Amino acid sequence: MALIVQKYGGASVASCDLIKKVADRVISCKKQGNDVIVVLSAMAGETDRLIELARQVQPMSDPRELDVLLATGEQMTVSLFAMAAKEKGFEAMSFLGYQVPINTDSSYGKARILDISPERLDAALKSGYIPVVAGFQGVTSRGNITTLGRGGSDTTAVAAAVALNADLCEIYTDVDGVYTTDPNICPNANKIDRISYEEMMEMASLGAEVLEIRSVELAMRYGMPLHVRSSFNCNTGTYVIKEDETMEQVLVSGVTYSRNEARITVTKVPDRPGIAAGIFNPISEANIVVDMIIQNTRAGDLTDMTFTVPRGNYEMAMDIVKKVAKGIGAEKVAGDQSIAKVSIVGAGMRNHAGVAGKMFDILARHGINILMISTSEIKISCIIEEKYTELAVHALHEEFGLNHE
């Protein structure tokens, strides 16, 4: 007998009929002798509907009140799920963020979980109930409702699993698991059976949307095994676990890409201490996340600075940088929105030299020019022209041996 936390995403609970099917699934796990805690997202589309309502009333919606509004989405699914389980003869009880409680800081819209009290959930389990926890929401020390940001229900599930010392955290979604690359681009993509936390974090941060990155980080910190799988079939999905020997034999685990990129270049910047901070502080103050940064030194104490930002923040970032450039006496600011980032991820890179060289070679042989490069211990990312995205993904996926046989 094990304690399993099962998290179902919005697509899995998108209607009353689907909620009943999820209840069947939970009950069958329970019947096998397991204790189950269920964590649910809002019905697919509901959060967007609520955000739209808020915009109609207040275009720049007040963060505290927006969280009160958004929290209704998960409140609906947990109560409906508890009813569905009861209708099938099983005891279930819904728990909202403040009822568990799931304590967070007070960063509305992107709150961080501080801790989850296990007592009430534990008592419910001991009394034979299936606790049904609202994902995505928490409560501050002052009793205000917070939400955790997009994908926050994954984090709720992992945090609950950690707090209750569960044996496994299952993340149910509408795909069969984590793939070596996007199957929409590459029909030869393979489902990955086992992947390390570190690799999964790189994949998630590079655009693979199946798991929220903070949830992987949390699972890694506490060694909580994750099983990402489909709620629409019984196939084994992808286990996200501690790195072990068998994994290291794989050089590259996955190829990811992101079109959500834009590039800004400031040329002939006077090369003085503090110049980088002068450019990047105003950008981060506007809540814009800078990804890659490259600095090239020119002759005569001048330097060129190139960096990438999310495409949605491009206009705002350009405005800010143009002002700053004027102030520090830089020559020119140029921008480009038709770029993409392709990346390879693999724990095996740690022990194998030449992976980067192989990647650059593959891209070159396909006539793809590399605009920027960034590397970490287990990933290599290249910025290329956007029009080459599919070509690059196909080539890397094939030549690193990830294609279906």
- Choice between 58 and 141, CB closer to a second copy: 58
Any contact of residue 26 with a second copy (CB under 8 A)? no
> Which one of the spans 55-63, 105-113, 148-156, 264-272 is the region binding a second copy (CB under 8 A)?
55-63
Residues 6+ apart with CB under 8 A from 24: 88
CB atoms within 10 A of CB 377: 9
Rule CB under 8 A: is residue 130 a binding residue for a second copy?
A: no
Q: What is the rounded CA–CA span in Å between residue 37 and residue 70?
A: 22
* Residue (of 254, 319, 241) closest to 283 by Cα position: 319
Q: Which of 325, 343, 344 is nearest to 335 (CA)?
A: 325
By CB under 8 A, name the one of 21, 30, 64, 322 that touches a second copy. Answer: 64
Which distant-in-sequence residues (6+ apart) come within 8 Å of 291 by Cβ?
A: 261, 307, 308, 309, 310, 341, 374
Interaction between residue 284 and a second copy (CB under 8 A):
no
The answer to whether 355 contacts a second copy (rule: CB under 8 A) is: no
Nearer to a second copy, 45 or 354 (CB): 45
Binder among 7, 20, 25, 263 for a second copy (CB under 8 A): 20
| Min separation Cβ 52 and a second copy, Å | 9
51 is a site residue for a second copy (CB under 8 A): no
Q: Which of 3, 76, 288, 370 binds a second copy (CB under 8 A)?
A: 76
Structure-token pair, residue 280: 């990047």
Does 143 bind a second copy (CB under 8 A)? Our answer is yes
Subset of 193-232 contacting a second copy (CB under 8 A): none
**Which region, judged by CB under 8 A, interacts with a second copy, from 76-84, 221-229, 249-257, 360-368?**
76-84
If the CB atoms of residues 65 and 386 are measured against a second copy, the closer one turns out to be 65
User: Which of 51-59, 177-185, 266-274, 356-364 is the region at the interface with a second copy (rule: CB under 8 A)?
Assistant: 51-59
CB of 69 to a second copy, least distance (A): 4
Work out which of 34, 72, 260, 265 binds a second copy, going by CB under 8 A: 72
Which token pair is 217? 């980080």
Tally of CA atoms within 13 A in the half-sphere of 46 that contains its CB: 21
Q: How far is the CB of 25 from a second copy (least distance, A)?
A: 15
CA–CA distance, 6 with 168 (Å, rounded to integer) = 9
84 or 344, CB closer to a second copy?
84
The residue range among 5-13, 137-145, 208-216, 330-338 that interacts with a second copy, by the rule CB under 8 A, is: 137-145
21 versus 358: smaller Cβ distance to a second copy: 21
**Burial call 192-217: b when 16+ CB within 10 Å, e when fewer:** bebbbbbbbbbbbbbbbebbbbbbbb
Kindly tell me which residue out of 41, 47, 61, 308 binds a second copy, with binding defined by CB under 8 A: 61
AA identity, residue 49: R
**267, containing H or E segment:** strand 262-270
Strand partners of residue 114 = none
d(CA 178, CA 358): 24
Task: Answer whether 216's CB lies under 8 Å from 366's CB.
Answer: no
The footprint of a second copy on this chain (CB under 8 A) covers a number of residues equal to 37
Q: Are strands 145-147 and 137-139 parallel, antiparallel or unpaired?
A: antiparallel
Contact region for a second copy (CB under 8 A) — 46-54, 158-166, 244-252, 370-378? 46-54
- Return the residues of window 80-99 that contact a second copy according to CB under 8 A: 80, 82-84, 86-87, 93-94, 96, 98-99
- Does residue 313 interact with a second copy by CB under 8 A? no
Task: Tell me the CB-side half-sphere exposure of residue 401, using CA atoms within 13 A.
Answer: 8
Binding flags for a second copy, 99-118, as an x/- string (CB under 8 A): x-------------------
Distance CA 216, CA 240 (A): 8
Report the interhelical angle of 63-87 vs 46-57 (nearest 10°). 150
Contact residues for a second copy, defined by CB under 8 A? 16, 19-20, 50, 53-54, 56-59, 61-62, 64-66, 68-69, 71-72, 75-76, 78-80, 82-84, 86-87, 93-94, 96, 98-99, 143-145
